[in-house]
RNA sequence: GGGAGCAUAGCUCAGUUGGUUUAGAGCACCUCGUUUACACCGAGGGGGUCCGCGGUUCGAACCCGUGUGCUCCCA
């Protein structure tokens, strides 16, 4: 097969992807082999592929492809998440564009539009994953709202309710005024915001014109104040405790109370207490039996509690209230203040604490085994530093608010009768059976949906129908899964809760290893985001560079456990690597017509092959251990170096036949096999080009994608060392040529003075070729008017026609001498230290003595060389 | 405010239980080079007070303390 001049990824990529799918290589069924199961972190059904997905899924594909080539039975399950808030927001926006208001639709009508939208746009992202080469088992594509999945989520709700682990309660929640729904704590993003601290004085209900001043960043909440609280030991206010004050503008009378919760140093030391709109105030209110006055409507506008601002947004009121307080004489001062404000993860609205009746999961009992599983390393986190983060959260865990005031999602299976009694069962029919008392009563189902994560925590179980059809053959074979690859951002949202669900419903952990990827940032270290516009178009990049180059670029820049600073130059490096791979194959194929079966195997070629075999085996072992520790980036770098430097720059040059010369059949075949092995090693990282070249090299009996790795052969250390010596000598001599400005075309005569002539004799042909020497001979004494190069204890004399630049030679030798003498001094210092000689381990001592001997010998060599100049 | 982590070449990172050469790699940079694989290339080279200070030790990039700077998580 003739190779084209250049590698053309666009044709090759789609050809092989289709081929792999057609052959069913990605499809898994339970069998006798060990399972290697990975479930994809299901992207939002609304999602389009971004750099984060690219990194995450490339890593998964590397692990899965490698497992396949190691003879395991890998199963990588694709799918999408219904993403309740995000999707509902998109559907609402789409309807608005069509001029339809959500409020004008019934629930069923709205869901009709939502499904329509999902069928049309949902899953675009899954198509995009194919372009990247992901070896997902498409026959298993799942969705968190598939019918069976939906039933499982409901089943879990009912079960946890019956176990007393789910309850309904009026509590302070995070309210998203844009989506008009409750949020869990994890869905709130805290950001620093420049605001104002308002010092507001409240007139006291005592004779005279006295005031008490409070400080707040949310002045609009004064309408919900039901007390002012001071520290009992605060001398400034002690005398006011038990008295009353008036809320400015509305003149409502509120008590002044004392509690040691108050920080005397903060603000004025007096706190306005608004139990309806702050969690701490709420707790304080509970303790002191304070009234709760709500001031906000669902959409964040003020209600009748603030008569002068009804219908105005609370942030708008914050801007205008200062003037009004000023007018009423209540504003003491305004100062700049930086504080932390919560924003909705999905809508970016400023979150308002709000008292609300919601459904909760009691997390304490669920958390215990899940914490233990990670702390005992039954589940291993990579990098392990995330264990701390996890422990910290799990130990301080709070109950999980799971109800969302949305329609798109799993509807809460709770029914209410007219008196407000609650009945929980999987459907109304079931309620009627379980609760005969409901006979004749009208029941209404809870309007709310469950938090998205209340379904995704079942993902590793339900993709194998482990909830809807417990104990089936697949769940028993594929569960627990092997490795979860995900972003550290969702360690609480998802990872922790999957572990809880796994322990609760399977009695087993859901996965053995969790690999946390870094966050993808731009060159300047900023997180990639839509608003910054610093997120590159991934599909455009794949078109431009090819999927392999993108995979290479993103992996080479992702050190384990660190963030990834995305820079297009690494994709260029990937593309260049593609070219290198392609050209090396072209070179090999060029020799094919000149294969000779006659004659003996040349000695130098035999050495080259032995050396490369040793180097290959040693590197395979290294790569193996790196991958076991999830050091994927380092493994790729190692393979890159093996191919580019050791195979292409050294090995191929060593065995390269002269101009129009033949190549020995053994050498040719061995070189092809080496290359094939290299392609196989690289395949999990760059699947397309390796498959293409695997077939281009020779007629193959199987595809690389499913070709199992051979056992690694033993490393011949002696040959490895001889090769290293050869490389070093070549480099030193080339350096000498360069420094003496000997033209590359000019052949030199080389004289070697060494105690190990046999070593050099075995490699002299290679050496001659690599440094362009027309002759090599061995000598016992110095050669006149030559360039002297000292390497270790050996000396090399280069004889060229050109005049020798004695000065620069001398300079180099002196530099080397200074270095060696400095080194010797440090070694001698150590060895003359009695305590070192007494305390150091014998092997350390031996090493130091050898260092000294070597240094002395080298100094001797350099001095001799200098003397000859 | 509480917690975690990081600081090594211009950049991104390795550096295993403290001793394996006076610290390595890739990219970038500089010099030279178009001999039939590849200029998306080849050969060679330069470049570091291992963040500062103090300590432990015969010996510290590595261990301890402290300061500074940065990042992340939680409230």
Residues A314-323: tens digit of each pLDDT: 999 998 998 9
For residue A76, pLDDT beyond 80: yes
Whether A803 shows a pLDDT value over 70: the answer reads: no
pLDDT at A558 over 90: no
Which range (A27-31, A576-580, A712-716) has the least confidence? A712-716
How far apart (Å, rounded) are the C-alpha atoms in residues A742 and A809? 13
Interface predicted TM-score of the whole assembly (ipTM), two decimals: 0.94
Is the pLDDT reported for residue A153 higher than 90? yes
Distance A362 CA to B58 C1' (A): 59
Mean pLDDT, rounded, for A87-106: 90
* pLDDT of the residue at A522: 78
Please say if the pLDDT value at position A686 is more than 70. Answer: yes
Q: Which residue is nearest to nucleotide B35 (CA to C1')?
A: A745
Percent of chain A with pLDDT over 70: 99
Residue-wise pLDDT tens digits, A209-261:
889 999 888 999 999 999 999 888 888 888 999 999 999 999 999 999 998 88
Measuring CA to CA, which residue among A76, A47, A78 is closest to residue A62? A76
Q: Indicate whether A379 pLDDT > 90.
A: yes
Q: Do residues A426 and A410 lie in contact, with contact meaning Cβ atoms separated by under 8 Å?
A: no
The least confident of A380-394, A409-423, A480-494 is: A380-394
What is the mean predicted confidence (pLDDT) over A701-712? 96
Per-residue pLDDT at A284: 85
Average pLDDT score over residue span A495-517: 95
Q: How far is the CA of A236 from the C1' of B71 (A)?
A: 42
Residue A333 has pLDDT above 80, yes or no: yes
State the average pLDDT over residues A749-770: 90
Q: List all nucleotides in chain B with at least one atom under 7 A from a protein Cβ.
A: 2-6, 11-14, 19-22, 25-28, 31-33, 35-38, 40-45, 57-59, 72-75
CA distance A91 to A185: 25
Binning pLDDT at 50, 70 and 90, where does residue A529 land? low
pLDDT above 80 for A701: yes
Task: Retrieve residue A90's tokens.
Answer: 């998109």
A595 DSSP β-pair partners: A663
pLDDT reading at A61 higher than 70: yes
Q: Which of residues 291-330 of A touch strand B (CB under 7 A)?
A: none
pLDDT at A525 over 90: no
Residue A348: what pLDDT?
82
Q: What is the spatial distance between Cα A816 and Cα A820, in angstroms, rounded to a whole number?
A: 6
> Nearest nucleotide, C1' to the C-alpha of A647?
B37
Q: How far is the CA of A396 from the C1' of B55 (A)?
A: 37
Rounded CA-CA distance A557/A555 in Å is 5
Separation in Å: B54 C1' and A36 CA: 52
In this structure, what token pair is assigned to residue A684? 């999990």
A 660-699, residues with C-beta < 7 Å of strand B: 660
Lowest mean pLDDT among A403-407, A562-566, A803-807: A803-807
Alpha-carbon distance values, A731 to A609, A736, A770 (Å): 20, 9, 9
**Positions 2-21 in A, CB within 7 angstroms of strand B:** 6
* Residue A304 banded pLDDT, cuts 50, 70, 90: very high
Nucleotide nearest to A192 (CA to C1'): B75
CB within 7 A of strand B (chain A, 181-240): 185-186, 188, 190
Segment A618-637 mean pLDDT: 92
Give the nucleotide nearest to A837 (CA→C1'): B58
pLDDT, residue A263, reads: 77
B53 C1' – A822 CA distance, angstroms? 27
Name the residue with higher pLDDT: A659 or A703: A703
pLDDT tens digits, A582-613: 999 999 999 999 999 988 898 889 999 999 99
Q: Which two structure tokens, joined as six digits, stand for A748?
A: 């030199």
Q: Dihedrals φ, ψ of A651, to 5°?
A: -55, -50
**Longest distance between any two alpha carbons in chain A, whole Å:** 120
Q: Kindly state the average pLDDT of the residues A274-285.
A: 86
| Cβ(A78)–Cβ(A137) below 8 Å | yes
φ, ψ of residue A548 in degrees (nearest 5) = -60, -40
Looking up tokens 């000396």, which residue turns up?
A795
CA of A541 to C1' of B20 (A): 44
Strand B near-CB residues (< 7 Å), A 804-823? 819, 821-823
Nucleotide nearest to A386 (CA to C1'): B4
In Å, what is the separation between the CA of A470 and the C1' of B18?
54
Mean pLDDT of chain A: 90
The pLDDT value given to residue A179: 85
Residue A476 backbone phi and psi in degrees, to 5:
-65, -30
Do the Cβ atoms of A716 and A613 come closer than 8 Å? yes
Looking at residue A531, what is its pLDDT? 62
Residue with CA nearest B45 C1'? A735
Strand A449-450 relative to strand A414-416, pairing: unpaired
| A789 has pLDDT over 90 | no
Cβ-contact A31, A75 below 8 angstroms: no
Residues 510-529 of A with CB under 7 A from strand B: 525, 527
Residues 369-408 of A with CB under 7 A from strand B: 385, 388-389, 392-393, 396
d(CA A12, CA A6): 12
Which of A 439-468 have CB under 7 A of nucleic chain B?
A: none
Per-residue pLDDT, A519: 81
Among A493, A460, A575, A633, smallest CA distance to A55 is for: A633
Q: What is the pTM of this model?
A: 0.89
CA of A758, C1' of B26: distance in angstroms = 36
How far in angstroms lies nucleotide B43's C1' from the CA of residue A703? 37
Strand B contact with A559 (CB < 7 A)? yes
Confidence bin at A681 (pLDDT 50/70/90): very high
Q: pLDDT value at position A862?
A: 82
Given a cut of 70, whether residue A134 has pLDDT beyond it is yes
Is strand B in 7 Å reach of the CB of A562? yes
**Interatomic CA–C1' length for residue A732 and nucleotide B42, angstroms:** 16
| Cα A230 to Cα A234: distance, rounded to the nearest angstrom | 7
A510 pLDDT above the threshold of 80: yes
Backbone phi, psi, residue A213, to 5°: -110, 130
Span A719-747, pLDDT tens digits: 998 899 899 999 989 988 888 888 888 88
Question: To which residue do tokens 């009709």 refer?
Answer: A112
**The A400-401 sheet, strands edge to edge:** A181-183, A166-176, A352-361, A400-401
Q: Per-residue pLDDT averaged across A680-689, rounded?
A: 97
Is the per-residue pLDDT at A523 higher than 80? no
Is the confidence at residue A1, as pLDDT, over 60?
no
Q: Which nucleotide is nearest to A851 (CA to C1')?
A: B21
CA distance A142 to A76: 11
pLDDT (0 to 100) of residue A295: 92
Does residue A391 or residue A29 have the better pLDDT?
A29
């Amino acid at each position: 097969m003739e190779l084209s001049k250049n590698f053309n990824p666009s044709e090759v990529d789609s050809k092989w992807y289709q081929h792999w799918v057609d052959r069913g290589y990605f499809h898994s069924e339970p069998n006798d082999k060990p399972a290697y199961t990975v479930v994809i972190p299901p992207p939002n059904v609304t999602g389009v592929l971004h750099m984060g997905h690219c990194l995450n899924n490339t890593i998964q594909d590397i692990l899965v492809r490698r497992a396949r080539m190691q003879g395991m039975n890998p199963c990588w399950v694709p799918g999408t998440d219904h993403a309740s808030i995000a999707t509902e927001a998109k559907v609402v926006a789409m309807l608005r564009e069509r001029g339809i208001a959500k409020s004008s639709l019934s629930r069923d009508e709205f869901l009709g539009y939502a499904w329509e939208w999902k069928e049309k746009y949902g899953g675009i992202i899954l198509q995009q994953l194919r372009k990247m080469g992901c070896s997902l088992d498409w026959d298993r594509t799942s969705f968190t709202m598939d019918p069976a999945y939906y039933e499982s989520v409901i089943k879990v709700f009912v079960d946890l309710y019956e176990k007393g682990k789910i309850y309904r309660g009026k509590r302070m929640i995070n309210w998203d005024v844009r989506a008009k729904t409750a949020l869990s704590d994890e869905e709130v993003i805290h950001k620093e915001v420049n605001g104002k601290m308002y010092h507001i004085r409240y007139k006291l209900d005592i004779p005279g014109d006295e005031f008490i001043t409070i400080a707040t960043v949310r002045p609009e909440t004064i309408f919900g104040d039901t007390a002012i609280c001071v520290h009992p030991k605060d001398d400034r206010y002690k005398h006011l405790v038990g008295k009353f004050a008036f809320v400015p503008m509305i003149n409502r009378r509120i008590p002044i109370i004392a509690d040691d919760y108050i920080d005397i140093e903060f603000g004025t030391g007096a706190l306005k207490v608004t139990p309806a709109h702050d969690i701490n105030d709420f707790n304080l209110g509970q303790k002191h039996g304070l009234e709760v006055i709500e001031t906000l409507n669902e959409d964040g506008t003020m209600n009748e509690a603030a008569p002068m601002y009804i219908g105005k947004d609370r942030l708008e009121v914050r801007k205008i209230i200062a003037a009004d307080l000023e007018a009423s004489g209540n504003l003491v001062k305004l100062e700049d203040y930086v504080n932390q404000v919560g924003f909705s993860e999905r809508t970016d609205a400023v979150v308002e604490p709000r008292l609300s009746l919601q459904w909760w999961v009691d997390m304490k009992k669920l958390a215990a085994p899940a914490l233990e599983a990670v702390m005992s390393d039954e589940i291993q986190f990579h990098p392990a530093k995330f264990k701390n983060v996890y422990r910290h959260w799990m130990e301080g865990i709070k109950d999980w608010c799971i109800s969302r005031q949305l329609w798109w999602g799993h509807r809460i299976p709770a029914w209410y009768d007219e008196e407000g009694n609650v009945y929980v069962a999987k459907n109304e029919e079931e309620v009627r059976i379980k609760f005969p008392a409901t006979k004749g009563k009208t029941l209404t189902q809870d309007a709310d949906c469950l938090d998205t994560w209340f379904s995704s925590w079942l993902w590793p179980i339900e993709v194998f129908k482990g909830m809807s059809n417990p104990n089936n053959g697949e769940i028993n074979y594929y569960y627990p899964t092997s490795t979860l690859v995900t972003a550290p951002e969702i360690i609480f949202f998802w990872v922790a809760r999957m572990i809880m669900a796994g322990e609760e419903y399977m009695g087993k952990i859901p996965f053995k290893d969790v690999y946390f990827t870094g966050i993808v940032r731009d060159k300047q270290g900023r997180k990639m985001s839509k608003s910054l516009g610093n997120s590159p178009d991934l599909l455009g990049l794949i078109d431009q560079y090819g999927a392999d180059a993108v995979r290479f670029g993103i992996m080479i820049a992702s050190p384990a456990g660190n963030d990834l600073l995305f820079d297009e130059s690494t994709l260029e490096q990937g593309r260049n690597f593609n070219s290198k791979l392609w050209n090396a194959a072209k070179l090999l194929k060029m020799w094919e017509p000149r294969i000779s079966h006659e004659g003996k195997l040349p000695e130098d070629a035999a050495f080259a092959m032995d050396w490369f075999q040793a180097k290959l085996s040693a590197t395979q072992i290294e790569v193996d251990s790196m991958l076991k520790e999830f050091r994927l980036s380092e493994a790729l770098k190692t393979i890159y170096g093996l191919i580019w430097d050791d195979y292409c720059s050294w090995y191929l040059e060593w065995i390269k036949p002269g101009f129009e010369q033949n190549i020995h059949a053994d050498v040719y075949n061995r070189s092809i096999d080496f290359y094939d092995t290299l392609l196989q090693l690289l395949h999990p990282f760059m699947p397309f080009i390796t498959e293409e070249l695997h077939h281009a090299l020779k007629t193959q009996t199987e595809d690389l994608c499913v070709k199992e790795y051979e056992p690694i052969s033993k490393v011949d250390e002696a040959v490895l060392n001889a090769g290293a010596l050869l490389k070093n000598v070549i480099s030193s001599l080339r350096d000498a040529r360069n420094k003496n400005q000997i033209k590359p075309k000019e052949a030199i005569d080389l004289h070697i003075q060494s105690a190990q002539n046999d070593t050099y004799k075995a490699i002299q042909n290679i050496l001659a070729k690599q440094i362009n020497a027309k002759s090599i001979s061995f000598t016992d004494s110095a050669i006149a008017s030559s360039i002297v190069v000292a390497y270790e204890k050996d000396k090399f004399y280069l004889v060229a026609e050109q005049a020798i630049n004695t000065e620069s030679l001398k300079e180099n030798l002196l530099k080397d001498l200074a270095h060696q003498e400095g080194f010797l001094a440090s070694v001698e210092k150590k060895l003359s230290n009695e305590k070192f000689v007494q305390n150091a381990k014998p092997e350390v001592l031996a090493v130091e003595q050898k260092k000294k001997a070597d240094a002395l010998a080298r100094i001797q060599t350099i001095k001799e060389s200098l003397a000859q100049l």
